[in-house]
Structure 1
Amino acid sequence: MKVVRVLNNNVVLAVDETGAEAILTGWGVGFQAKPGQPVKTDKVTRTFRPENDRDSDTLAQQLAALDPRFLAAADDALRAEFEDRGSATVVALADHLSVAAVRVAADAATAAQPHPLTAEVKHLYPAEYAAGERILAHVNKQLELDLPQVEAVAIAMHLVNAGFHTDGLAETYRMTGVFGQLFAIIDTSFDIELDRQSISAARFITHMRYFFVRVSEGRQLNEGMSVLKDSLQLSHPQAVTCASRLASILELRLGAPLTDDEVSYLALHVARLVGEHHAAQ
């Protein structure tokens, strides 16, 4: 590989023999390096490649701006959890952890206050939350820190966000808040309390996560599933009514009308959620 750009002594943008660009990090990898020179491969400890058509220079600048200790800890922790950790996720997590460490150093009591979405994250994303707890423990041990348990929630949100390949957490936070509202409406409609960690709940959450993606891309389901709608109206009329309420909330929150097919699939998931709940009683 050859050096394309030196960001600092520890980060360089390089290109391999196929023309593919990568960002290489390691103590001294950029020291006295010049564009066009071979990369000091013995200095390289980590290799990052931009994904989803992201710009290599931007990723390189982001990596160069990070504290190397937090970058290493974030990358190691994510590698322990996932086969493909994703460069953008490493950057986002490393940046978050470094800021969290500053907050704890400034005011540990305030930094440890509960996250407003703790309950929603634990219920809606149990796998990501469990991974967040393990990543937090890994980082605390590697960096000899004492980041509070509440950071597992924020880490989980980054993991959820990674599944949608977006640049910020705003959409993930909004999505999580909407999910909590939808479950509350179903609970109220049927006078029950759904198990957010049930199989049907997991399926509903997965469906809704991809629904958000479809809406953002302007391609809702529209396959003419009138048979499904008619069948549900006969067999599960209360679920259809509840789905209409959910659809109204989603249209209000997302600013886009739902297709009949999307509402029908909402009703199907509501029927499954309520059916599983009653079967478990």
Structure 2
Amino acid sequence: MKILRVLNNNVVLSRDASGREVILTGRGLGFQKRPGQEVDPRAVVRTFVPTDGRDPDNLATVLAALDQDVVRAVVLAISETQLEPAESTQPTLAIAVADHVAQALKRERDGTRIDYPLRAEVQTLYREEYDKAARLLTAINHHIDPPLPQTEATALALHLVNAGFSSGDLSFTYTMTGVIQQMLTAISERYGIPAERDSISGARFITHVRYLFVRVHQHRQLTRQDSVIGESIRTAYPEATRTARQLATIVELRLGTALTEDEVSYLALHVARMTLDAETDEVR
């Protein structure tokens, strides 16, 4: 492999045998090297392969700016908690988490701690990711000093959510979290029912909305002008459809994008399920 760009003594951008641009790390890998020279394979410790259209040069620049000991700690922790297989070459999660950990370490050493305002929402809406984040934080703390407080699990959970959607922008995940909570509150107030994450219908609703936001973000909403299923849902659940249109307004105001009729229909279906489950629980 030939070097395309030297980022620093430990990080270089190269091209592998299949023609992909890859990020290589290793102590002294880029020392006194120039573009066009061969990479010493013995010095390569990790190979990262950018995916999802991410700019390899940009990711390499971000990675090069990070403390490589922190990167090592995070990569080991991700592998130990099996969030990604040990042989994974995906750089996005490792870079995002390492960047956060580096900043959190600086705050910890400066004696500065922050309380994340979305902590309750994250624990409720993203329980699976939060549990994984708590395990990841424990694993990271085994490799760094000083250890980070448990409150950092909230931020790590958001990074896991973001990585799962490959949106590339954590601000999108923050916005999504707030909008989901706003939608659940609207349903609760409209029907006088608890919109609980623990209920099957509540969990399904949250999962549906999360992927709805990804479709919105990627400009790939469900859209069929003659959708028979969508029309059937709107006819069968008129009240839920009115609620779904209210939720669609919330989405449009927060994300600046109107939802298609099919997206509104499927929202209505999930709203109907939540209300029906609530009625069933009351009968019991």
**TM-score, normalised via structure 2 length:** 0.88
Structure 1 regions of 5+ residues with no counterpart? none
Matches within 5 A, 1:1-281: 1-79=1-79, 80-83=82-85, 84=88, 86-108=90-112, 111=113, 113-223=114-224, 224-225=226-227, 228-234=230-236, 236-280=237-281
RMSD: 2.1
What SS is found at the alignment partner of 1:265?
helix
User: C-alpha offsets along residues 132-161 of structure 1, whole Å, 9 cap, x if unaligned?
Assistant: 111111111111332111111101111111
Q: Given that residues 167 and 214 in structure 2 are in contact (C-alpha distance below 8 angstroms), is that contact kept between their aligned partners in structure 1?
A: no
Separation in 1, partners of 2:248, 2:56: 40
Q: 1-side partners of 2:250 and 2:140: how far apart?
A: 39
Instruction: State whether residues 233 and 266 of structure 2, in contact with CA within 8 Å, keep that contact through their aligned partners in structure 1.
Output: no
The change in CA–CA distance for 1:4 and 1:249 in structure 2 (over 3 A counts) is: closer
The aligned length equals: 277
Deviations 1:226-264 (A, max 9, x none): 554455544x44323322221222222222332222221
Distance 1:220 1:17 in 2: 37
Partners of 1:129 and 1:153 within 8 A in 2: yes
Whole-angstrom distance in 2 between the partners of 1:181 and 1:147? 31
Q: Tell me the percent identity.
A: 47
Matches of 1:244 and 1:19, distance apart in 2? 48
Letter in 2 for 1:267: A
Distance in 2 (CA, whole Å) between partners of 1:70 and 1:251 is 39
CA spacing shift, 1:277–1:17, aligned 2, 3 Å: same
Q: State the Cα deviation string for residues 109-139 of structure 1 (Å, max 9, x = none).
A: xx1x431111111111111111111111111
Matching residue's letter, 1:98: A
Contact 1:124/1:197 (8 A) holds in 2: no
